[in-house]
Amino acid sequence: MKKIFFILAFLCQVSASFSQANKKLKNGMYLVDKIVYDSTKIDASDTQKTLIKFNQLFLKNAPEKSVGLLIFNSNFVPLELNEEPKLIDQDEKKKKIELSLSHAASEQLAMFTSHNVMKQATLVIDGEALTVHEIREAITGGKMQITRCSDNACEIIYVKLKDSMQK
């Protein structure tokens, strides 16, 4: 009985600390440490990482039994847009989103992506991972695209991006 109580107390503490950390996260692109399947195996005292949830709708082939993503909460690129995002039709079922970052965010994105080639990054809005992509090369010029949107995921991400600009 003591063991069950201890486990429940630990899970409540971990959950509370992660939800507080999510509220402090700025919207932006973060480096992914790993997909988390068991939150009891996370070091809650590690202040360099944050557990965030992700929406299964947005992440194609998202692991069903995962708890969320563990991300590095420092060294991120803030989501500072020059203009509103653009939602563009790719073909009859898919859309893409084009983003244009501010000059300062563009420079940070170039450094961030050049130092993290072949690693995964996530776009976080309001404490939730909306996309996860592998960085294949440095992104220069301050322009980004979110592609491979199916169903209505791009429309939802687009609305979240627009809403984040108004906050």
Residues 6+ apart with CB under 8 A from 61: none
pTM for the complete prediction? 0.80
Q: Evaluate if residue 27 carries a pLDDT over 60.
A: yes
Q: Evaluate if residue 22 carries a pLDDT over 90.
A: no
pLDDT band (50, 70, 90) for residue 155: confident
- Tell me what pLDDT residue 105 has: 95
- Tell me what pLDDT residue 67 has: 80
Alpha-carbon gap, residue 27 to 48, rounded angstroms = 17
- Tell me what pLDDT residue 112 has: 97
Collapsing DSSP to helix, strand or coil, 150 comes out as coil
Give the residue-averaged pLDDT of 99-112.
Answer: 96
Alpha-carbon gap, residue 123 to 137, rounded angstroms = 17
Query: If one looks up domain 2-165 in CATH, what number appears?
Result: 3.30.1360
pLDDT, one tens digit per residue, over 47-71 is 899 999 877 666 555 666 778 889 9
Alpha-carbon gap, residue 120 to 23, rounded angstroms = 22
Give the residue-averaged pLDDT of 136-160.
Answer: 85
- Tell me what pLDDT residue 2 has: 44
Alpha-carbon gap, residue 79 to 62, rounded angstroms = 23
Alpha-carbon gap, residue 40 to 99, rounded angstroms = 37
Q: Evaluate if residue 8 carries a pLDDT over 70.
A: no
Higher-scoring residue by pLDDT: 124, 131: 124
